[in-house]
Structure 1
Amino acid sequence: MVSEKPWLTQYPDVIPKNIPYDDKPLQDYLKEGAEEQPNKILVHFMGKEMTFYEVYEASLRFANVLHSLGVTKGDRVALMLANTPQSVISYYGTLLAGGVVVQTNPIYVERELEHQLMDSGAKVIVCLDLVYERVINVKPNTAIEHVIVTKMNDYLPFPKNMIYPLKRNKTTKRKLNIHYTDYTHSFKNLLKQANNDLMPVNIDPKDDLALLQYTGGTTGVAKGVMLTHYNLVANTTQCIKWMYKLDHSNEVVLCVLPFFHVYGMTVGMNYSVMARSKMVILPKFDVKQTLKAIQSQKITIFPGAPTMYIGLINHPDVTNYHLSSIKVCTSGSAPLPLDVQYKFEQLTGASLSEGFGLTEASPVTHFNLLWEKRPPGSIGVPWPDTDVAILSSETGERASTGEVGELIIRGPQVMKGYWNRPEETEAAFQNDWLLTGDMGYMDEEGFFYIVDRKKDMIIASGFNIYPREIEEVLYDHPAIQEAVAIGVPDPYRGETVKAFIVKKEDEDLTEDELITFCKQRLASYKVPRLIEFRDDLPKTLVGKILRRALTEEEKERQEKQPS
């Protein structure tokens, strides 16, 4: 086994190589927490605290609301929410009702929202009042029968609940008018009227879906990833076992990664419920608000994205905050620049480790060891019960050690398939192995490295160029805060490298200086020929830089140029 899986030799003795996973629905962990530790704080939201019992009781009420609206086992319920107590209650309430959660990004425009609702066939949607108009506009073209509207201040403590609407109206320059009808309901009122009786639904954890999580659509139309209760239980359990030095039930988790993103959902929300940790919820990432939350709530676990850590270490007042409570930071959703890792660890004393995953795997498949060897630039080793191999780009067979190829994965966290897309499901698997589309390699010790997405690879003059390698060099420059490299059409080379740069505040850097810097660190064919300085880069709410958006911008720009 060890010869086939050299990464197992890296495991400390306390991390099991195989885990006996609970064969029960995800919502049972909330129920057990409420029964065994009813008064333990589960949620802290802008000063408002809710115990395990209070969250469970509200989730039961929401489950009964759904039953009263005609939701039965297997029906899809869409959640279009920012991180709030309502998002936790709606999520677990849907599972208690036997429904399937469909997480929907609140910043989706109508076209994206309509596609997701039509594709999933969701019967009910829970949304913030801020996005209500978008939901109502697309409702006629979908299977949505009921819209449940909640407000950010529904669970804010006094006097924040009174002040918030005034601030919001001042910001948006308009007052939101919700027209309650026989199909538009108030979340708060529905919960008040519902009972909290448990109506058991028979769930087969290995077969029944808990979640339809839509891919970001970075490689085409967004697809619904079918994740079972067992998939999510397994991945969350793996997460707990990996962080073996932590006193899980006494940890405090910063939940600023969106719950509608599978990473924030698993490593933030589901981890907190299963481990019985306290989750400190922030509705969005704001550097100052995050620093205040870390200090005041004594955060110990901080799941984040590279742009979040970049924002914190570059904030002018960061040294005025006490951040030493942080023990562990997990970085995902995008490559973590080494310079950012070192600076953040030096600043906080925490262990900041990069992992790797994808929506189709619930999402985590690899992670660096938190307190042992962490080779620079590595995504770490596979989690327990996770098999990984590399397929050679040349032969399609198993690659040799150090050879770049496509990562393929199998394990208990891997999806059931794509919703209503049997052909794409078949194409995503080779036997029972998931084809990730990510290019990487394994070294002799079993550590894995990602070089880039197969579709992001730049081919210039016949050479394969991986943007991540260029970006690592760019992040080494002391004047650069953020950077991304893409391939743009070139009549001679086929493609050439273009870099988009955000400079640090008060830093000077010219195009010529940066190209000279790159020439000293990269082969000539990898050096960016084009440089564009920007004030900011397009990002998802998780903080992942939208490479595709920049590629599309360049394509449109070139099409507009006279031939």
Structure 2
Amino acid sequence: MGVDLTKPWFKHYPEEVPKTMEYDNRPLHGLLMDAAENYPDKVAIHFMGKELTYQEVYDSAKKFASYLQGLGLEKGDRVAIMLPNSPQSVISYYGALLAGGIVVQTNPLYTERELEYQMKDSGAKFLVCLDILLPRANNVKGETNLEHLIVTGIKDYLPFPKNLVYPFIQKREYNMVVKPEHAGDTHVWTKMLEEASGNVTMHEFDPEEDLALLQYTGGTTGYPKGVMLTHHNLVSNTQMSKAWIYKAEYGKETVLGILPFFHVYGMTAVMNLSIMMAQKMVLVPKFDVDTVLKLIEKEKPTLFPGAPTIYIGLLNHPKIQKYDLSSIEACLSGSAPLPVEVQQNFEKVTGGKLVEGYGLTESSPVTHSNLIYDDRRAGTIGIPWPDTDSKIFKPDTLEEMPVGEVGEVAVKGPQIMKGYWNRPEETENTLKDGWLLTGDMGYMNEDGYFYIVDRKKDMIIAGGFNIYPREVEEVLYEHEAIAETVVAGIPDPYRGETVKAYIVLKDGAQLTEEELDQYCRENLAAFKVPKLYEFREELPKTAVGKILRRKLVDEEKEKMEQEKANSSS
């Protein structure tokens, strides 16, 4: 790949980590085929007491694939998956790929408005969803290209007697029990697996050209864009992940699957890596601190990819010392900056290693990380991965900045996306001469370690979720009482950042914080809903009328510093 071995970061590489690698030139679903062939009886998934072997997962994926082909799926058709971490999310992902489809990962928290946009933009013909999400899917179906809905429930993979009790829990929690009929364009998961032949028509793939995934991410336009990731992008990043955690052994690790698979980080660092290495995945559909601590003690995971909010949530549990967490050996933290004290405290409690990494949806996602077992540096995103080049460019040019000077972080490597779905102009603005312009501002020190100082874009990262202010503002502007609004990410000790909305009401209009919060919850996924609202007479603006979001953030920071100073004096 023509790697420049004089790059300063290579001197830190332990001898076990290759600077350049040979990548398997094959489709992504080949990972599952290999695991089923080499480790058929190994447990692939542990889910709330139920366990499935690699052979069982592969057989189910083939059935799913054959059923899709029976419904008319052709190579390149999009298959949307709207599920929490569960056996179905793994089976449908690899099954869709086996059938020749392109997966569209969809957040189960999406509102109808958000779901409709993504289905329209991707052109998905098939949607796999939970039974409690079926009414939402049915409501948007007529406005999209969706032809078939495949419906499953958490209880489908629960062991006895949990499978009998679960409908009552569902009724209590969601005030609904959906019993879909296996008829017409609605297909019930359990019936589908009974009817499917498992005979799949295998397609020829060009891994470097054929898409495996459309992963949606936001941008300065305010509307999420479909990132086109090829089979080669995802296979190469998964192989890099294995090279980085070189002490992990094939067929012997247990990984804690808390990171959602509908997020590209969880998809690569947990699901794809686990399948490639024939690891046992302990799947957690919803993060609950008590449940996770008990799971760690019982299932003894060795690998635990996560986000800072997950580690913080566990550390803040009053009885964490009562649990045995010593099985944990390695944790790679992503999605948001990792506070140094969190890293130190978590390592103290578990005895394992916790390091910060960096990546983007557009890079499958990982490009940089601290070394897990060796030279680790707090406050840095680490060094580039094998075959991954990184530079600091002067913003809006391709002029390289000197060591130590801040500019835009750019990356290049086999994991970099093909482009944005149906957005050639945005692709052209983001990919320059093979370099992905990340929109993050940072610098590299003399040792080749990279630091992120700010974001060029206004994206908010709260609790590991990417939130795009413009998208929230669009919803707020539709409220009849609002004249002007701006949304900003302000510092938050737990979530990294939190969403705050500044509101100017129309003359004579009245609106309470409670009413506005209710309105947002009806139109936005829960993680995008502002946590704070501030009503103002006016918003700060430039001479041409552009609202100064950054000025508001600076005001918040000053306020916090003042409060800190007052409390310590």
Q: Normalization by structure 1: what TM-score? A: 0.84
Matched with 2:372 is 370
Question: 2:206 and 2:133 mapped to 1: Cα distance?
Answer: 34
Q: State the SS of the aligned residue for 2:343.
A: helix
Aligned equivalent of 2:29:
27
**How far off its partner does 1:132 sit?**
0.7
For residues 143-194 of structure 1, give each alpha carbon's deviation from its aligned partner in whole angstroms, at most 9, with x where no partner exists.
Answer: 1100010001101111111111111101222332435431011011011111
Name 1:536's counterpart in structure 2. Answer: none
Name the counterpart of 1:296: 298
**Partner Cα separation in structure 2 for residue 143 and residue 400 of structure 1:** 50
Q: 1:226 and 1:396, CA in 2 relative to 1: closer, same or farther beyond 3 A?
A: closer
Aligned-partner Cα distance in 2 for 1:65–1:222: 30
Mapped contact 2:219–2:459 kept (Cα < 8 A): no
Residue 383 (structure 2) aligns with: 381
Distance in 1 separating the partners of 2:209 and 2:458: 34
What pairs with 1:222-237 in structure 2 (closer than 5 Å)?
222-237=224-239
Distance change >3 Å, CA 498–CA 329, structure 1 → 2? farther
The answer as to whether partners of 2:42 and 2:251 remain within 8 angstroms in 1 is no
Q: Hey, what does 2:274 align to over in structure 1?
A: 272
Could you say what secondary structure the match of 1:250 adopts? coil
CA distance in 2, matches of 1:36, 1:453: 44
1:373 is paired with a residue whose SS is coil
Letter in 2 for 1:6: P
Cα distance, 1:249 vs structure 2: 2.1
Question: Are the aligned partners of 2:393 and 2:408 in contact in 1 as well (CA < 8 Å)?
Answer: yes
Deviations for 1:414-462, whole angstroms, at most 9, x for unmatched residues? Answer: 000111111111111111111110111000000000112112499xxxx
Aligned to 1:52: 54
SS at match of 2:251: helix
In structure 2, relative to structure 1, the CA distance for the partners of 1:273 and 1:345 (3 Å cut) is same
Between the aligned partners of 1:500 and 1:55, the Cα distance in structure 2 is: 50
Deviations, residues 477-497 of structure 1 (Å, cap 9, x unaligned):
xxxx55537898547997142
CA distance in 2, matches of 1:219, 1:119: 14
Contact 1:146/1:183 (CA < 8 Å) preserved in 2? yes
CA 1:12 to 1:219, structure 2 compared with 1: closer, same or farther past 3 Å? farther
* Cross-structure match for 1:320: 322
Shift of 1:336: 0.8
Residues 411 and 107 from structure 1, CA distance in 2 versus in 1: closer, same or farther, beyond 3 angstroms?
A: same
**Which one of the candidate residues 485, 492, 514 is aligned to 2:564?**
514
Answering whether residue 300 of structure 2 is matched by residue 244 of structure 1, we say no
The question of 1:484 aligning with 2:497 is answered yes
Aligned-partner Cα distance in 2 for 1:87–1:77: 12
RMSD across aligned C-alpha pairs, in angstroms?
2.5
Q: For residue 455 of structure 1, give the secondary structure of its aligned residue in structure 2.
A: coil
SS at match of 2:438: strand
What CA distance in whole angstroms lies between the structure 1 residues aligned with 2:396 and 2:137? 47
- 1:334 is aligned to 336
* Matched AA of 1:58: S
Q: Distance in 2 between matches of 1:510 and 1:361?
A: 35
Say if 1:392 and 1:403, in contact at 8 Å, map to a contact too.
Answer: no
CA distance in 1, matches of 2:417, 2:391: 18
CA distance change for structure 1 residues 211 and 393 in 2, over 3 Å: closer, same or farther? closer
Pair 1:418–1:188, CA change in 2 (3 A) = same
* Distance (Å, rounded) in 1 between the aligned partners of 2:334 and 2:202: 36
Question: Identity of paired residues, percent?
Answer: 53
Say if 1:486 and 1:499, in contact at 8 Å, map to a contact too: no
Question: Does residue 1:309 correspond to 2:311, yes or no?
Answer: yes
How many residues in Structure 1 have an aligned counterpart in Structure 2?
Answer: 496
For residue 380 of structure 1, what is the amino acid of its counterpart?
A: G
Describe the SS at the equivalent of 2:223.
Answer: coil
Letter in 1 for 2:551: E
- CA positional deviation for 1:78: 0.4
The residue aligned with 2:551 is 495
Secondary structure of the 1:174 match is coil
Give the AA of the match of 2:497: V
In the alignment, which residue of structure 1 is the partner of 2:401?
Answer: 399
Cα pair 1:2 1:8 within 8 Å, conserved: no
Alignment partners' CA distance in 2, 1:163 and 1:216:
39
- Partners in 1 of 2:130 and 2:296 — Cα distance? 26
Contact 2:410-2:435 within 8 A present in 1 as well: yes
User: Mean Cα displacement is larger for which, 252-261 or 164-173?
Assistant: 164-173
Give matches, 1:512-551, under 5 Å.
Answer: 513-516=563-566
Runs of 5+ consecutive residues of structure 1 not aligned to the other structure: 459-466, 476-480, 502-508, 521-563
Q: Deviations over 1:281-326 (max 9, x none)?
A: 0101111111111110001100111000110000011111100000
Match of 1:121 in 2: 123
**Which residue of structure 2 lines up, in the alignment, with residue 555 of structure 1?**
none
Tell me which residue corresponds to 1:525. none
Contact 1:485 1:498 in 2 (8 A): no
Aligned residue runs from structure 1 range 451-490, under 5 A: 451-456=453-458, 481=494, 484=497, 490=540
Q: Distance in 1 between matches of 2:270 and 2:193?
A: 25
Deviation at 1:392, TM superposition (A): 2.1
Deviation by residue 1:208-235 (Cα, 9 ceiling, x = unmatched): 1110101145762100000010000000
8 A Cα contact 1:248 1:276, kept in partner: yes
* Residue equivalent to 2:513: none
Instruction: Kindly indicate whether residue 217 of structure 2 is the aligned counterpart of residue 215 of structure 1.
Output: yes
Q: Determine if contact 2:211/2:231 at 8 Å carries over to the other structure.
A: yes
User: Could you tell me how far apart the structure 2 residues matched to 1:330 and 1:100 are?
Assistant: 28
Distance 1:274 1:3, change over 3 A: closer
Q: 1:379 to 1:483 in 2, by over 3 A?
A: closer
Letter in 2 for 1:188: T
Shift of 1:201: 1.3
Q: Secondary structure of the residue that 1:316 maps to in structure 2?
A: coil
Aligned counterparts of 1:160 and 1:93: Cα–Cα separation in 2: 26
Contact kept in structure 2, 1:2 and 1:9, CA below 8 Å = no
* Structure 2 residues not aligned, in runs of 5+: 461-487, 503-538, 543-547
Which whole-Å deviations, capped at 9, do the CAs of 1:49-106 have from their partners, x for residues lacking one? 0001000000000000000110011110000111100000000000100100000000
Which position in structure 1 is the counterpart of 2:136? 134
Could you report, residue by residue, the CA deviation over 1:487-514 in whole angstroms, capped at 9, with x for unpaired residues? 985479971425499xxxxxxx998542
